[in-house]
A and B are shown apart, each in its own frame.
Chain A
C-alpha cells in the first residue's frame, strides 16, 4: 500500500506527459490528490501498519503526521491548480502537471522512508522536480530564482549526503555491520563514534536546513517563493519545508538514541533563534508581498527549530505548529496568488484595496495574516503558546523573552504591509481577475481548518502528536 502511494503519482505523471487534452491534464492533479488523501486516510486508520523493523519504507508516528499534513495541502493546491492553469493557457501545463505529480511522489517517498539513503534520494528529487515549478513564469526573474534554488539546494543536499556518510562511518569502529537503516541506527545509537556522529549531525542540519530554509541558509527562499506561482509557493512553504524538517528530525532521533540530544537541541535552538531574528529584520518594510510570505516561512521554520530545541512540551507544540503552519501558509500563498493575478503586481506600490476589489481573496489574505502571526483564536496561537509554555517551563527566560519580542516585531512588520495591501481603495479599478470558486475555496477551507485547530484538537490528532513527540524525546 505504501509503495502504491509513491508509485501511482508517477504513473499519472507519465500519463500526463502523453495526454494531449489540456483540461484533462489539469484535472489529473486533483485526481491524484484525492486518491492520495484516500490512501493516506486508509493507512492512518489501520492501527497495525507500524513500521517493520529493517524495512526501507514504513510508517511511524512522525511519518503519519507528515502524511496528514502534506496530503490535504496537496489536494487543496491541486484543486486550485485546475482553475489557475485554466487562466494561464498561454503558459501551458505540459511541464508543470507532470512535475507536480512527481513532486507528490517524491515528497511521499521522503516521508515514508526509513533508510537515510532513501530519505536523501527523496528529498533531492523534490529539489529537481520543483525547479521547473519555480521556473513556470519563464522570465528573467524566475530564471534567476530557479538558478539560485537549484544551486543552493543541490549543494545543501550534497552536504546532507556527506552528513549521512559521516553517520554511517560513526558505526564503523564498533564492529557492528554498518547500515543506514533508521531502526538499526537507533538501536546501535550508544555504540556510534561520537566525533563522526556529531560532525554528521551538523552536516545533516546544514544540508536539510538549507532545504528547510533556516537562516543563514535561507537565501534562496525569498527569490523562489517570490517568483513561483502562488500554489507552488504554498506547496513549498507548507509541504517541502515540512519534509525537510522531518529529515532534520530523523537526525535528532539518531542523536537522541546516541544520548547526545542536548547537543542536537542546542544547535537547533541557535539556528531557530537566528531564523526568527533574520525574518523579523527583513519582514519590516518589506515591499513585496510574496517575499514577505517567504520570510514568514523562515520565521516559522525558526519556531519549529526552537520548539524541538527546547524539548518536552515545546516539542509537542512544534509538531502542532507544523500542522498549523502548513495550513496557514497554504491559505496565504493561494490568496496572495489571487491578489497578484488581479492587480498584475505583487509590489506594495501597486497593490491597494484588495478587500474592496477582491472581497474573498483579500479577506482571506487578511485573515491568513492574523492566523500566521499567531493571533487567537487560530491554531497558531495555540501552538506558539504551547511552545512558549515549554520555553518558560524549561526556565529559558531569555529565549522566551527574545521569542516574544521577535514575534511582536514580525506581527507589526507584517501587519503594516498586509494592511496597506488589503485596506483602502484600489488605485486602478480595472481588474484582471475576479474571485472564482476553485481559486478561493481551497484557501478558505485551509483557513477554517486552522481556525478549528485553534479551538479544538481532535483526540486522534492529539494522540498522534504525542506519539510523534515521544519519538523525539527518547534517550537510551
Chain B
C-alpha cells in the first residue's frame, strides 16, 4: 500500500508543475481535478479500508475531483475564456520557482522530527510543495479563476497533511471542512460571475480601485 501512496503523491507533484506551466485554463482545471481525485485515493492507501476512510475518499472524490471542477469548467464556458494571457510572472519563471519550493519542501521536511512510520514517506514534502505551488498560482496569475485554482491547490496540500492525521480528525469535522470548501468555491464562483458582468473580464487587475 505504501508504494501506491507514493506513486499518487509523485503524480500530485507532477500535476503541480503541469498547472504552474500551462496557460490553458480548461487543462489547468482538469489537472487540479485529477489531483483532487488522486488525493481521494490516499486515505485508503494510507490507512486501509474502513468506514471512515471510505466516506472521506468518496467525499473528496465527489467534491475535489468532480463537482468543483465541473463548476469551474462551466464558469469558463459561460464567460468564454480559454487561456490565461500574460500572467504577472511568466510561465518559465513560475516553473523554476515551483521547482525551488518543491526542493525546499523536501529539505525542510527532512529537518522536522517525524514519526517513525512517516519517515521517508512523501506525504509531508508533497503536502508542503502543493501548498506552496498553490500559493504561487494564487499570487502570480491575473484571472480570478486561476486564483481559485490556486486556492484549491493550497487546500489540496493541507488535505494531504490531514490524511496523516485522519484518525485524529472526527468525521464530522472533516465533512465540515469539505463542505466549507465547496460553499467557499461556490461563493467565489458567484463573485466571479459578478466581476465578469461588471467589468466584462475576469482579470483581477481591474480590481485595483481600492488603495491608499
Contact = CB atoms under 8 A, between A and B. Distances in A.
* Mutual binders A and B: yes
Given A121-B173, A124-B184, A172-B115, A143 B194 contact: yes
Interface in A85-131: 115, 117-118, 120-121, 124-125, 127-128, 131
Interface stretch (A154-162, A310-318, A353-361): A154-162
Interface stretch (A6-14, A72-80, A133-141): A133-141
A226 interface: yes
B210 interface: yes
A132 B112 CA distance: 41
Most buried by A among B154, B170, B191, B194: B191
A145 B144 CA distance: 14
Interface in B166-206: 167-170, 173-174, 176-177, 180, 183-184, 187-188, 191, 194-195, 198-199, 204
Given A128-B183, A143-B198, A165 B165 contact: yes
Contacts of B174: 117
A173 B116 CA distance: 9
A178 interface: yes
Interface stretch (B56-64, B67-75, B88-96, B155-163): B155-163
A195 B147 contact: no
Interface string B86-128: 0000000000000000000000000011010000000000000
B209 interface: yes
Contact of A143 (B161, B165, B183, B207): B207
A341 interface: no
22 contacts: A117-B170, A124-B177, A124-B180, A128-B184, A128-B187, A131-B191, A138-B194, A140-B209, A141-B210, A143-B194, A144-B210, A145-B210, A146-B191, A150-B184, A151-B138, A154-B184, A154-B188, A165-B158, A168-B168, A173-B115, A180-B170, A195-B112
A143 B188 CA distance: 11
Contacts of B208: 144
Nearest to B212: A282
B46 interface: no
A223 interface: yes
A155 B138 contact: yes
A222 B135 CA distance: 23
A143 B183 CA distance: 18
Given A138-B194, A161-B177, A172-B165, 4 more contacts: A146-B191, A150-B187, A151-B138, A196-B113
Nearest to B111: A195
A121 B161 contact: no
Main secondary structure of the interface of A (DSSP, over half): helix
A216 B123 CA distance: 31
Nearest to A121: B176
B207 A179 contact: no
Interface in A389-431: none
B28 interface: no
Nearest to B159: A161
A188 B55 CA distance: 29
A178 B168 CA distance: 5
Given A118-B173, A195-B113, A128 B180 contact: yes
Interface size class of B (residues with CB under 8 A): 35 or more
B29 interface: no
Interface of B: 112-113, 115, 131, 135, 138, 144, 147, 151, 154-155, 158, 161-162, 164-165, 167-170, 173-174, 176-177, 180, 183-184, 187-188, 191, 194-195, 198-199, 204, 207-210, 212
B143 to A, nearest CB: 12
Given A154-B151, A155-B154, A169-B165, A127 B194 contact: no
B146 to A, nearest CB: 12
A384 interface: no
A155 B151 contact: yes
Nearest 9 CB-CB pairings of A with B: A117-B173, A121-B176, A178-B168, A144-B207, A223-B210, A124-B180, A168-B168, A168-B165, A165-B161
B182 to A, nearest CB: 10
Nearest to B117: A172
A227 interface: yes
B209 A158 contact: no
Most buried by A among B113, B158, B180: B180
A132 B187 CA distance: 8
A147 B110 CA distance: 37
A180 B135 CA distance: 26
A193 interface: yes
A457 to B, nearest CB: 37
A148 interface: yes
B158 A161 contact: yes
B93 to A, nearest CB: 22
Most buried by A among B115, B158, B162, B184: B184
A199 B161 CA distance: 14
Nearest to B207: A144
B184 A196 contact: no
Contacts of A162: 131, 158, 161
Contacts of B164: 165, 169
A117 B174 CA distance: 8
Contacts of B176: 117-118, 121
Nearest to B135: A155
Given A115-B173, A162-B161, A227-B210, A143 B167 contact: no
A160 to B, nearest CB: 10
A140 B131 contact: no
A196 B209 CA distance: 41
Nearest to B174: A117
Contacts of A196: 112-113
A151 B147 contact: yes
Nearest to A282: B212
Interface in A23-72: none
Given A128-B183, A173-B113, A178-B167, A222 B195 contact: no
Contact of B210 (A169, A178, A179, A222): A222
Contacts of B154: 155, 158
Contacts of A132: 187
Contacts of A147: 144, 191, 195, 204, 207
